[in-house]
């Protein structure tokens, strides 16, 4: 008999198994510069 190790295995299958849809992941990486700035701002000097 084929037994599931965990109850959540059938839920996280397909695109959810790898975390994200790979097609959308590419577009998110291209658009990330619009939303996320990797430079850190020192709040004390800019206050």
Instruction: Give 18-34 pLDDT, tens digit per residue.
Output: 566 677 777 777 776 66
Q: Is the distance from CB of 21 to CB of 15 less than 8 angstroms?
A: yes
For residue 44, is pLDDT > 60? yes
What is the spatial distance between Cα 35 and Cα 47, in angstroms, rounded to a whole number? Answer: 22
| Average pLDDT of span 13-21 | 61
- Position 13 scores a pLDDT of 64
CA distances to 5, 31, 32, 34, 46 from 41, in Å: 46, 21, 18, 17, 8
- pLDDT(47) > 60: no
CA distance 28 to 35: 10
* Beta carbons of 12 and 20 less than 8 angstroms apart: no
């Amino acid at each position: 008999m084929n037994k599931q190790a965990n109850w959540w295995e059938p839920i996280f299958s397909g695109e959810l198994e790898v975390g994200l849809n790979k097609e959308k992941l590419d577009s998110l990486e291209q658009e990330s510069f619009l939303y996320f700035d990797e430079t850190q701002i020192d709040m004390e000097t800019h206050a």
